[in-house]
Structure 1
Amino acid sequence: MSSRLTQGYERAGFAPRPGRGRGRGRGRAHPFVKRTAVKPDIVKHPLGQLLQTLRLSDLQPHKDHTGGVNTIRNCEYVTSYNWSNSEAPTILVPGRPPLWTPLQQPQRLPEDSGVYFRDPNSAKFPRHPTEPAIRALFETNPAFSTGEVDIFACGSTMGSLLRFVQSIDKPFRFNVEVVGSTVFLIRKENDPREIIEGVRGFGHTFPEAYTTWEQDVRGSETHQRLCRYDLGRFNCVIRFECDGYLQSGPEKTSTMETKSSDLEDLAGNFKNVTVGQGTGNGLATLSLKQGGAVVPQHSIFDMKTRSGRYKKEIDMNEMYPQLWIKQIPNFIIAYHDGAGTFPTSDIHVQDVNYNVQAWERQNQAGIGRLLVLLGKIIDLAREEGAGLLEVYCPSADCLEVRRQYGEGVHALPPELSAKWKAVDEDSSGSDHEHDSGPDHGGLQLGYDSDDEPDYTACGDDCGYCGKCTY
């Protein structure tokens, strides 16, 4: 066994161990265990007052907008951070994804074992899971124009809404709060440290063996990124998890290739600081440390593993929606022989930029409904002002907007919320507008600049069809 592979196993920690964010949801369920989707627990977390019920029939685009093309435009990197594998909640800014470093010769990998959280952000920092992202953003760019942002969300919440407008039945809920002029959509699990049950397969050990955390980010568990883009009339900032990046050319892809001139000398902007409060009892603090370097958006990838025994290729139409939301242009699919060996010929590194743009063109009706739905949520949230809301989807054709039960949960701590509002007010008088530019689609423009899909409900009987994803 190679020394690098051994090092990867040591990093993985194959004894049950919490906090492993990378690779979650890429394994398979045990073939003898009947898996069902995790539903929101409305007994443990009661629902608040109902404000509005939305059906798919309520989401038809206005006639004046039916002739337009809804695309993601002006995609640009905002910030990034790594969660460190430490007892105290610690992030490295800007961090760096693990580098794709495939083995020279295939070797049999051990099967997945351990404990894997559904949402590493809430597991690491349950009191305010969005706070680390905003801390990293202001460390990277203190003058970031918050007043231009309509929506702050993660890949999970946006994926849930996209799933709903596509009539896919998978219940969900998330919190909603207006901070300044921005509507925050905050992922909500039944428990902040909710784990993925019944993980089997090689979806975790494969990335441990075939990617490497480089020296300046050694000890990282997961890489989180924030990208900003225009979706229809809305300016969005999306946080998501990144599986890794591809080395391109002789030089390291750690140079800045974004649209923000404020990021030219990132290393000089950081100091090791401690801010925020994390755990439910408020005792833990969030530490920010300098580490890593910015990796351009066009080099990052998403990754999935599958069994090759059933000769069923992954249905990429199930993957394109999340790649579209995250604006990830590369995809790696690896098929194993059922015993943990991945033949080199069965590992495929693909540039899916063109395919994702094609998916976008072919799904204009659903994207149009998504934009209408986002507009309704934003309007209702802004009407409520300082009120704390939540979105609850109990079935495929019912979406409820409610007040949060009891005192509710804020998206950010008071000090950070005030800072977001202050920057919002400072930037509200600016004449700056996003240049929409030619409408070439978001991923292509990305060359100028998290709720991972959960396959653990898949089993041998479906050959990992992907119907439970995003």
Structure 2
Amino acid sequence: MSTWRGASSSGRADFAPRGGRGGGRRRGGRGGRQGAPQRQAPLQPDIVKYPLGNLVAKITTKDIDLTASDDTLSTTAVITDCEYVASYNWMNDSASTIMTPGKPPLWTPLSVPRQLDEDTGDFYRDPNAARFPSYPIEPAVQAIFRVNAAFSTSKIDVFACGSTLGNLLRFARHDDKRFRFTVELIGNTVFFVRKEGSPTELIPGMRGFGHTFPEAYTTWEPDVKGSETHQRIVQYNFGGLGFMLRFECDGYFNTALPQKPSHDGDDDLAQVLKGVSVSQSLPKQNNSLSIKTGGSKVPQSSIFDLKTRSGKYGQSIDMEQILPLLYLKQIPNFIVAYHNGAGLFPTKDIKVENFEKKIRQWEIDNKSALERLSVLLRKIIEVVKMDECGLLEIYRPSADYLEIRKQHGDVSHVLPLSLRQEWEVAGLHAADEFDSDQDSSQEGGGVNLPHSYYNYNFDSDSDDDKDFTACSAEECGYCGRCTY
């Protein structure tokens, strides 16, 4: 069985990572000390090193453009009922270890700005894959059941991360970015898992202060000391579907309003930076995940996303690239910090703002794109549930279409067998609910789109091309509860 599930991040060079805490965060302002900031070319999925499987279906941008008014889509293609489900911190231990529920780093800004060193070291594209390459989604699922052993999975149609769902939104918005990720049906849930390169793939040539700034301006509190990154899982409804989203959280405020500066003096700053590790070592790789209990749940209203930028050539940031991700993650607060080109962040140039109104306005302004995303997701789900084994991958080779393909070679399951079974048992009545929804939609009810919207371009594979290693054709089909 293949054991890697790495991924690329956005490929934007001006999103520097936070390596010492996150091991792969891309949050900071890139831009060399000489001249204007330079952007790297977007990363392309390597289909030579990691070949593609047989084509199953193709979805074009025209397929998801609505040609007729659909009031159901207009009312459901918005995020509603968002709630916190679980969270965990990756710990800087010799073995792969998470702490649940963990806690994000606390916003503790310096009272007197100090010049910071530029980021150096190794930065991983995906800290979850780098720290636990065999099953990068497992820590999130373990955290969910650890927080709530009776959690029901029956209403979760899609389990995604900020990267995979963000890439699909980019396609729906006609943003030209290549990507690929794997897909697996478990019970009633379609899991999207990042996959574009080796799990320990590094981001080359990163410069800026996106790592050292958070180390100086946020603090891991005593109950979560030794943490590297905080991961959150939220649940919400979108387009008539139930979603679960995992994403990395940059920090939180311990009050409704941002804290006043709390670090004072050179000695205090030296203490803050004392534990900074800019070149991170990974835990020993094995299939065992250790789980600690610690930290405490923090409300969604208090978390923030953070970016740094050079203010040397003026203060500006492309919010059209940031607002969609804040929307998908439902992060209400945003911090952008501008430095002088040499690592000094004047207090007046650190902008802290509640973005809830801007996020809501973005949702209104992008109504058509969100409706296209809703159609796209339903198309993907239908194809996955029609597959013999429910194990596929999504690949976007062009601005105009994406492909749904078989996984090449040995299949890579999202979760180990015991956890797949636990997820299925936690939502046993999901298949009946799905069948009921399908029947009502055929009678004109429900939220499913008319079948005319699903115009797939299927290849006619012979049985010789099909992979029945996970189950038999008689056992599988739509339910996803085959014997692995």
TM-score relative to the length of structure 1: 0.79
2:70 aligns with one of 58, 65, 69: 65
Q: CA deviation at 1:168?
A: 1.2
1:21 aligns with one of 6, 20, 23: 23
The match for 1:381 is 384
Question: Could you tell me how far apart the structure 2 residues matched to 1:331 and 1:312 are?
Answer: 15
- Classify 1:428/1:380 alpha carbon distance in 2 versus 1 (closer, same or farther; 3 Å): closer
State the SS of the aligned residue for 1:391: strand
Letter in 2 for 1:49: N
**Larger-gyration structure (1/2):** 2
Q: CA deviation at 1:231?
A: 0.6
Q: CA deviation at 1:319?
A: 1.0
Question: Could you tell me how far apart the structure 1 residues matched to 2:409 and 2:24 are?
Answer: 34
Letter in 1 for 2:339: H
Q: 1:244 and 2:244 equivalent?
A: no
1:199 aligns with one of 193, 203, 206: 206
Deviations for 1:241-280, whole angstroms, at most 9, x for unmatched residues?
Answer: 0000012169x9xxxxxxxxxxxxxxxxxxxxxxxxxx99
Question: Could you tell me how far apart the structure 2 residues matched to 1:17 and 1:318 are?
Answer: 22
2:354 aligns with one of 319, 335, 351: 351
Question: Could you tell me how far apart the structure 1 residues matched to 2:331 and 2:352 are?
Answer: 13
1:307 aligns with one of 305, 310, 313: 310
- Classify 1:318/1:20 alpha carbon distance in 2 versus 1 (closer, same or farther; 3 Å): closer
Q: Structure 1: 5+ residue runs without aligned partners?
A: 1-15, 253-278, 431-470
Letter in 2 for 1:21: G
- Classify 1:232/1:284 alpha carbon distance in 2 versus 1 (closer, same or farther; 3 Å): closer
The match for 2:179 is 172
Letter in 1 for 2:62: S
- Classify 1:87/1:24 alpha carbon distance in 2 versus 1 (closer, same or farther; 3 Å): farther
Q: CA deviation at 1:284?
A: 4.5
Instruction: State the percentage of identical aligned residues.
Output: 50
Letter in 1 for 2:28: R
The match for 1:418 is 421
Q: CA deviation at 1:417?
A: 0.2
- Classify 1:17/1:335 alpha carbon distance in 2 versus 1 (closer, same or farther; 3 Å): closer
State the SS of the aligned residue for 1:146: coil
Question: Could you tell me how far apart the structure 2 residues matched to 1:249 and 1:223 are?
Answer: 20
- Classify 1:20/1:230 alpha carbon distance in 2 versus 1 (closer, same or farther; 3 Å): closer
State the SS of the aligned residue for 2:141: helix
- Classify 1:143/1:62 alpha carbon distance in 2 versus 1 (closer, same or farther; 3 Å): farther
RMSD, aligned α-carbons: 2.4
The match for 1:393 is 396
Question: Could you tell me how far apart the structure 1 residues matched to 2:411 and 2:31 are?
Answer: 34
Q: CA deviation at 1:177?
A: 0.5
Deviations for 1:34-63, whole angstroms, at most 9, x for unmatched residues?
Answer: 722111111111100101111100002363
1:371 aligns with one of 370, 374, 392: 374
1:226 aligns with one of 233, 236, 245: 233
Deviations for 1:348-391, whole angstroms, at most 9, x for unmatched residues?
Answer: 11000010000000001100110000000000001115231000
The match for 1:121 is 128
Question: Could you tell me how far apart the structure 2 residues matched to 1:43 and 1:111 are?
Answer: 35
State the SS of the aligned residue for 2:48: coil
Question: Could you tell me how far apart the structure 1 residues matched to 2:297 and 2:164 are?
Answer: 25
Question: Could you tell me how far apart the structure 1 residues matched to 2:380 and 2:340 are?
Answer: 46
Q: CA deviation at 1:312?
A: 3.5
Aligned pairs for 1:287-366 within 5 A: 287-366=290-369
State the SS of the aligned residue for 1:358: helix
Structure 2 contact 29–310 (Cα < 8 Å) conserved: no
- Classify 1:180/1:281 alpha carbon distance in 2 versus 1 (closer, same or farther; 3 Å): farther
State the SS of the aligned residue for 1:386: coil
Aligned pairs for 1:90-101 within 5 A: 90-101=97-108
The match for 1:159 is 166
Q: CA deviation at 1:427?
A: 6.8
Structure 1 contact 99–211 (Cα < 8 Å) conserved: yes
The worse-fitting range, judged by mean Cα deviation, of 384-393 and 33-42 is 33-42
TM-score relative to the length of structure 2: 0.76
Letter in 1 for 2:55: L
Question: Could you tell me how far apart the structure 2 residues matched to 1:318 and 1:287 are?
Answer: 36
Q: CA deviation at 1:145?
A: 1.1
Aligned pairs for 1:422-461 within 5 A: 422-425=425-428
The match for 2:50 is 45
Question: Could you tell me how far apart the structure 2 residues matched to 1:157 and 1:188 are?
Answer: 9
Question: Could you tell me how far apart the structure 1 residues matched to 2:214 and 2:222 are?
Answer: 17
Structure 2 contact 94–283 (Cα < 8 Å) conserved: no
State the SS of the aligned residue for 1:376: helix
- Classify 1:106/1:241 alpha carbon distance in 2 versus 1 (closer, same or farther; 3 Å): same
Question: Could you tell me how far apart the structure 2 residues matched to 1:426 and 1:415 are?
Answer: 19
The worse-fitting range, judged by mean Cα deviation, of 65-74 and 404-413 is 65-74
Aligned residues: 389
State the SS of the aligned residue for 2:95: coil
Q: 1:405 and 2:405 equivalent?
A: no
Q: CA deviation at 1:94?
A: 0.2
The worse-fitting range, judged by mean Cα deviation, of 187-196 and 153-162 is 187-196
Q: Structure 2: 5+ residue runs without aligned partners?
A: 1-17, 260-281, 434-484
Deviations for 1:37-94, whole angstroms, at most 9, x for unmatched residues?
Answer: 1111111111001011111000023635257232100000000000001121100000
Structure 2 contact 187–431 (Cα < 8 Å) conserved: no
Question: Could you tell me how far apart the structure 1 residues matched to 2:301 and 2:105 are?
Answer: 15
Structure 1 contact 18–117 (Cα < 8 Å) conserved: no
Letter in 1 for 2:65: Q
Deviations for 1:429-455, whole angstroms, at most 9, x for unmatched residues?
Answer: 89xxxxxxxxxxxxxxxxxxxxxxxxx
